[in-house]
Amino acid sequence: MSDLDKKVQQATELLPGAGYPKQKSKYKSVAIKAGLVALAFFISAATFSARGAFRESQQVNTNVCSQVAELIPEKNGVVWKLSKVYFGTPRFKKRAVEWLGGAIRVPTETHDKMQPVGIDPRWETFGVLQDYLLQAFPKVHTALELTKVNTYGLLYEWKGSDASLKPLLLAAHQDVIPVENATLGQWQHEPFSGHFDGEYIWGRGSSDDKHGLIGIMSAVESLLELKFKPTRSVVLAFGIDEEIGGLNGARSLATVMLEKFGPKSFAMLIDEGVGYGPQYGQIFALPGIAEKGTLHIRIDLASPGGHSSVPPPHTSIGMLAKLLVEIEENPFEAHLTRGSPTYKTAQCLAEHGPEMLPALRKNIRLSQYSDEALREAEILLLQNPMFKTLVGTTQSINLIQGGIKTNALPEQAWAVVNHRISTESSLNETTSRQTDLLRPLASGFNLSYTAFGASLSEPDVPAYGSLNLSDAWGTGTEPAPVSPTDENAAPYDLLSGTIKAAYNSHRGIKGDNNVVVSPGIMPGNTDTRHYWKLTDHIFRYRHVRLGGCLPNNPHTVNEGILISMLVMEADNFVEIIRFFTALVLNADESELI
């Protein structure tokens, strides 16, 4: 027995929950649905290259999508081994369930067009969540310095002993999508119950993003209980309105962090994102190194009112409907572009997915040099709607309103179209394309046409009505900068090695290819859009198994997160805590980030 193992054995007796006998899980196996397997494939994207000196001793594959070895804490090895014992006890799992369930029971909903903090009373529920966090995580609130930003934004600083080291930044958001009253009868359990049925914790926020918020807080609380003292500072940033753009939360937090720490002051940032899951006979972890842009285009149409008994050929609502049909019938084209993030995804899966069809693998490999092979690969890949969605810019008509009475012609009608902008595109390309698309209809209906502040109508020509396109909330965002993964990308290597260590740690396995780490793309948007100035190394990742959350889309009824997975001998939420623990320990002893 090594000296390290002896220390761990001696210290184990001091752990909360130590001494509990191993128990057989009473929970049934959970099958991973085909749709979730597909999601694992199509939310990944990457830039891959040969690794540099940092990887010389760890390198597994020197070709496309090369891999580093699992990164196990060494200087902090005692704490890491103690945490593995601690997190494996039944008592800790029960504690983790209580931590997350308690946070879910606070309904921190955010709504479009909320008034500022201090004016809109709906913000006050975040004070209740703060009180809960104070009670649930006493050691965090004793050891870390807390700054409240714009009343409810939370910024914790765990000061390390070496101020020369760039801090690690961990982010999450406190708010959740509202629950529609009309859907209450469809919930298997009350949406803010935090109910644990032996397999799942149910409720809004369980998988977006209170599992991240509580996972981070649980890891820090546990590390404090294990007497860990950081060398590298760790900063926690928890926004309050990610679901509506982050203008009150993350933007304010970013301003405070820039003033306190300065630009490019953090070693790396981890926020919410895609986890890991099976594809083509291999488990892939998919940390997002890029994020799509976003734009909500509001279409306002006005025309003369009057009595409905004397209608015109087209009312405002009718003309708006025609415009919306035109948009849906003309989606943005999607193309597989050599060198793009989604192209690199395909390359990675071709290299590491043993069950990929030989013809697809061949075309992906040859496509690097052959335009014909690139087109063949594109045809095959774009047949999957999810992949096509991630390659191109998407559009979704989500809001519409018009009219005030059944016997009155509507004078106003409007709709909002959500766009998620491809990493190969831009805000300008998106607005220009949609402006040109609707121009013929505006002319045909004799509407004056203004788009994004520019008048496109002939001056002094009488018009029947007006059409105006604008940024609905003023929150349009360009696609995010791509975080580096090249030979100088020590933060990405550290993250990759940590993912492997966290994945292997409680499964009783060793090795580097049990999970393949592929840089991914985040199709949605996160609070990281406000943090670009803080670091070049931004990753969107939650160490949770794809298929461990129900349903596929957390923004709907029966949101939940799987706790027990007998089939993988894993506890899904506890695994998030394991990951953040490993990340803090590895970042703390790294000399390269």
Query: Domain range spanning residue 400?
Result: 293-471
Q: Are residues 309 and 455 in the same domain?
A: yes
In this predicted structure, what is the pLDDT of residue 68? 92
185 Cβ contact partners less than 8 Å away, ≥ 6 residues apart: none
- Rounded Cα distance, 228 and 249, in Å: 30
Q: Are residues 68 and 199 in the same domain?
A: yes
**Listed residues 407, 439, 471: the one ending a domain:** 471
Catalytic residue among 157, 175, 478, 527: 175
Classify strands 153-158 and 145-149 as parallel, antiparallel or unpaired: antiparallel
Classify strands 168-173 and 234-239 as parallel, antiparallel or unpaired: parallel
Q: Are residues 316 and 381 in the same domain?
A: yes
Q: Are residues 462 and 522 in the same domain?
A: no
With b meaning 16 or more CB within 10 Å and e meaning fewer, what string describes 144-154? beeeebbbbbb
Q: Are residues 68 and 143 in the same domain?
A: yes
Catalytic residue among 242, 351, 376, 527: 242
In this predicted structure, what is the pLDDT of residue 9? 63
Provide the edge-to-edge strand list for the sheet that holds 560-562: 200-202, 560-562, 549-550
In this predicted structure, what is the pLDDT of residue 16? 57
* Nearest residue to 379 via CA among 369, 368, 367: 367
Q: Are residues 268 and 184 in the same domain?
A: yes
**Listed residues 454, 471, 488: the one ending a domain:** 471
Q: Are residues 85 and 231 in the same domain?
A: yes
CB 257 within 8 A of CB 191: no
Binding site, annotated residues for Zn(2+):
173, 208, 243, 271, 555
The CATH number covering residue 161 comes to: 3.40.630.10
Catalytic, 175? Answer: yes
Q: Are residues 123 and 204 in the same domain?
A: yes
Catalytic, 131? Answer: no
The CATH number covering residue 355 comes to: 3.30.70.360
Q: What is the largest CA-CA distance in the chain?
A: 92
Q: Are residues 337 and 264 in the same domain?
A: no
**Listed residues 426, 453, 471: the one ending a domain:** 471
**DSSP label at 581?**
H
Q: Are residues 183 and 321 in the same domain?
A: no
In this predicted structure, what is the pLDDT of residue 15? 60
From residue 287, give the alpha-carbon distance in Å to each of 67, 436, 496, 541.
14, 36, 9, 5
Q: Are residues 128 and 196 in the same domain?
A: yes
**DSSP label at 507?**
T
In this predicted structure, what is the pLDDT of residue 154? 98
- Rounded Cα distance, 106 and 100, in Å: 11
The DSSP line for 42-56 is HTB--------GGGT
Residues in the chain with pLDDT values less than 50: 18-62, 550-552, 565-570
Domain count along the chain = 2
Q: Are residues 278 and 309 in the same domain?
A: no
Helix spans in 367-510 (H): 371-381, 385-391, 427-444, 490-505
